[in-house]
Structure 1
């Protein structure tokens, strides 16, 4: 097999990457089942796919399944800090995927790689944050006539897509993989909750028990993070702009405060909102010495990094791996993790493979659905068909050897009838 075009750090890392990918595969039984089905049926024969995703072992197993189905795939990294160089090498050398990703690449290289994978004239786009779709519309609109649809797997990306759609700017059908029950409940809640704390502990080796963690945002990700932090003994404070979510946090026993009041009492701050400037200059100025700042809400705009730079009189880079210390004029020190990017991927390895198994099984089956039904989908944002979510849940339960009840015909009739 000829080696596909690529720009990776070191193809000599491929053997180590294969071991990493195979280890992750052990915890991904639902996706393995999809892989076997795709290998037998070849539903994606002749389809070109461009992807912008985190280059991790879990992603590699999704791409292996799509390749088994016949797809020709080109992958660009969605975050330079999450790229595993050995996984990138394995995808190229062992699995035949074109990869354009290097750990720590600069923004110019990141943008160039998006254009490179789009210039392969894909039929389908797999996006993580809407950067690939945005680049296609803004820089290469002539290619959109060949793009038949795509998938978006993040909350931030879906928000951006809905904004494009509302303005009539979205020219292709995009399916919101992020919005499925399995994705929100397991990936966002359990995956982000565990992996974010993993990243914080790896970067700081701090004790959470007895400390105050401020969780900015109480969506699915924020709920999962708050649950796990409380389980480790932290006092959890939640900040929110949504009254319903704030009330939910209160009813679950969390302290809810505006950030201007939480700033003075927090030891660890984590943003999980999907919005910008959640932690601003006035908040930074009120924080105690040694406060830790982390983001798990996708883009590096949730913490106002320019304001942090302006407040600092000295910046000590990498006081620990993925931890930069900003010294303020009065001697207080604020510690920023993973440069304000996703701490769970920048300072750790992202979600456990068992979590990504469900998300990526949904994604793979959604790609198959798009290939078969794209002619019936108008430009805009669409939901994943409910039967896909249900099928993945059943696959996962079967892998866990869990049996559930089935309704009797009488029960089905009762629920579907309006008669007494």
Structure 2
């Protein structure tokens, strides 16, 4: 990022943190993608909260950014196992932020399995969680009666700008990796599993690239929406996979389970928009298929009479190329900052919450003034 862009971004975040002041001393534990634009967000967060630790998602770490962040913040390894074990999770929180008021910033519902124990037994107070993704939103919603407030920005209108561009970046990266085999996507039969905001953007982008697109979503309402937009739809995931030469999974909720892989078309390419453990049951393949790396970020799975390719080890394929979506990402980051300060004021009851329309409009106005000129 060049100096003028850094200055503009810093000015934007300063205006956001001034507009949404913190309500008291807070420690933030931050799960994040550690990409090139992220230090500016972390710097803004440090103006409103003590950053107890940064936990980068393993498949989205830019090494130079990691080195930079380590000079200012504690950086800890992240895994699902760490917070799936309630005892380990509590020990981690005590080691990192004992006795303080804590806000947990999440991407993907990592804290969900141990949240009740953390809220009940932590020596400080868990003021709440800020969740960034649809996958994480679903994980917290599945808990039922939440022990603390969870503010989700996953379904915010401000995130729609990012989601649309994420869909485009998914197709860009998929095409780039397929081309490493001397292959192209154009004119192929494609299947998009999941017709949320990102899945819809993927389907639209694939169609614009002259692919024949079939959509499957477990929600019949979304299948109707896909049908209304001119896409072919399927009544089951297995039906959607039939004949598809490209499969893009955008559910955040295990799009392809073990029995689906045998239904894949020979030579099909499979890619995901989120973590491999969230979309693809790849562990099932280890004992059945021979895996061969055929190019960077591209693996061939083969058993007698059947083969297919998995991109980026089943992780979010757009992170191979940095997942850049421009300044629109800062809209969501600003909402996360505002949600953190909202939790610091302890005005939310336990349960799922969203930021108000007024707050979102304020963020949008500041963004337009800062970037639309």
2:243 alignment partner, one of 265, 288, 303: 265
User: 1:253: how far off?
Assistant: 0.7
Counterparts in 2 of 1:213 and 1:202: CA distance versus 1, 3 Å: same
SS at match of 1:244: helix
Match of 1:208 in 2: 185
User: Aligned equivalents of 2:268 and 2:6: distance in 1?
Assistant: 36
String of CA shifts for 1:303-348, please: whole Å, max 9, x gaps. 2323433441x211x3212211111211x32111122222222x23
Give the 5 Å matches for 1:165-314. Answer: 166=144, 168=145, 170-183=146-159, 185-188=160-163, 190-205=164-179, 206-257=183-234, 258-276=236-254, 278-312=255-289, 314=290
Which of 295-304 and 150-159 deviates more? 295-304
Contact 1:279 1:302 in 2 (8 A): yes
Deviation by residue 1:102-136 (Cα, 9 ceiling, x = unmatched): xxx87768987996466322521101112134345
Name the TM-score, length of structure 2 as normaliser. Answer: 0.86
**Cα gap change, 1:71 to 1:38, in 2 (>3 Å):** farther
The 8 Å contact of residues 173 and 321 in structure 2, kept in 1 or not, is answered as yes
Equivalence for 1:315: 291
Shift in Å, 1:36: 4.6
2:314 matches 1:340: yes
Verify the 8 A CA contact 1:274 1:297 in the aligned structure 2: yes
Q: CA RMSD in A?
A: 3.0
Counterpart-to-counterpart distance in 2, 1:65 and 1:244: 39
Unaligned stretches of 5+ in structure 1?
A: 1-21, 403-420
Give the 3-state SS of the residue equivalent to 1:178 in structure 2: coil
Maintained 8 Å contact 1:155/1:274: yes
**Is the contact between residue 176 and residue 383 of structure 1 (CA under 8 Å) also seen in structure 2?**
yes
Matched, 1:155 2:134: yes
Q: 2 CA distance for matches of 1:306 and 1:328?
A: 15
CA contact (8 A) 1:41 1:69 kept: no
The match for 1:381 among 339, 352, 359 is 352
Structure 1 or 2, whichever has the larger Rg, is 1
Aligned pair count reads: 363
| TM-score of the two chains, using structure 1 as the length reference | 0.77
Give CA deviations for 1:337-373 in whole Å, capped at 9, x if unaligned: 122222222x2312423231111111112222222x3
1:87 CA displacement: 0.9
- Which structure carries more strand by proportion? 2
Distance 1:42 1:34, change over 3 A: same
- Could you say which residue in structure 1 is the equivalent of 2:106? 127
After superposition, the Cα gap between the structure-2 partners of 1:23 and 1:108, relative to the gap in structure 1 and judged at 3 Å, is farther
The superposition leaves residues 181-240 of structure 1 with CA deviations (integer Å, 9 ceiling, x where unpaired) of 111x1122x132022123313332242221122100111111011111112222111012
Are 2:69 and 1:91 equivalent residues in the alignment? Answer: yes
